[in-house]
Amino acid sequence: MINVAVIGTGYIGKVHLDALLQMPGVQVVALADSNLEMAQVYAKRYRIERVTADYRDFLNDGSIHAVHNCTPNHLHYDINLALLRAGKEVLSEKPLALNAAQARELWQTARQHDRLTGIDFCYRYYPAVQEAAARVRAGEIGRVHSVFGAFFQDWLLYETDYNWRFEKRFSGESNTAADIGSHWMDLAQFVANSRIVEVMADLHTIHPVRKRSKGAVLTFAKQVAGQEYEEVPIELDDSGVVMVHFENGIFGTFMINQLAAGRKVTIDLQVFGTQASLAWNHEKPSILWMGQRDKANEVSIESPLLQHPETARYARLPSGHPMGYHDAIYNLFSEFYDALELRQAGKPASPNLPDFGDGYYEMAIVEAIVASHRQKRWAKVEA
């Protein structure tokens, strides 16, 4: 049995708990949150016996093998570093840290201590996305020449929508590019099988001043009528467009926008090759579209019977039963814990998993995006 601790009981912490409690061979034995009362509520709900307000209470507990870091962005670096130095295997939320230098240190520390790491770029774990990547690697669309797409949300549409992600001390130098942009870039690089090496970015702050509630407001929570507000200048982006160059000549563009009314989590990815093209959209996540010039286009539905052998295992339900966001996270976690089980048995493990190296590279891209925007020129990814 692999014993796991979870740090953080916000929105994403509960998502992690829901997935972990379904996994065979894995048990959550400890829960930490600085809000001890909240942690106790969720410890009771999920039947977790050990609960604490300070994650450092279990750093030296050798019975805990892996830890999930589900805290806000500004806490990722310190907690991840402490966990690695304590010998824990770590699965962290993104971004890995607030800047590339911190992220690089985490990646190097993980390698020095030979720790298994993962970062929650979960969207690549939809079966249709895995199938798209397999078709690219098999040469079924020819040589990829361009990639386009977008990530749209609307939860920051109104000037009264405020979140800690707008504050540099919590988010670093970018909000939207680091938050949802990093997810799109991971998808694009994974499917195209190529890294982004250069960017030209135009970031925007549509509401330069927002009204912050004087009461507590949770991420994605509905506003309560009659709240009192204070005006706050906004320093970080809430939208933008980025042109990208990949390492092997692929080019592309993606748009990010958290004020796109009606678009809740719309992720669009289109990959064009010299023989065919592929498209996937998060609003219909079970569908992979394949475009062709000389014959009819194809629409395939995720299926353990019809996908490539190496991707069929991600389609865990019978054909025609659509999988969703929680399933994608479960697939990522399964990859992590299958690898950990092999490592504990002394066997080699080479998971197809986004790790701290990928988290570091994403932060390097984000820094290039910010530099490009400020300098109004192409910027190379320094990593």
| Domain range list for the chain | 2-123+327-354, 124-321+362-380
The predicted pLDDT at position 292 comes to 98
What tens digit of pLDDT does each residue of 74-99 get?
A: 999 999 999 999 999 999 999 999 99
Q: Rounded to the nearest 5 degrees, what angle is found at the Cα of 175, between the Cα atoms of 128 and 110?
A: 70
- The answer to whether 2-123+327-354 and 124-321+362-380 have equal CATH topology is no
Give the pLDDT score at 230.
93
Give yes or no for a contact between 276 and 297, defined as CB atoms under 8 angstroms apart: no
Q: Whole-number mean pLDDT of the chain?
A: 95
Measuring CA to CA, how many Å separate 353 from each of 118, 124, 176, 314? Answer: 7, 10, 24, 13
Closest listed residue to residue 313, CA positions, set 121, 125, 117:
125
CATH topology of domain 2-123+327-354: Rossmann fold (3.40.50)
- Supply the pLDDT for residue 228: 85
List the chain residues with pLDDT less than 70: 216-226
Q: How far is residue 307's CA from residue 14's CA, in Å, rounded to a whole number? A: 31
Statement: 124-321+362-380 belongs to CATH 3.30.360.10: yes
Does the reported pTM lie above 0.85?
yes
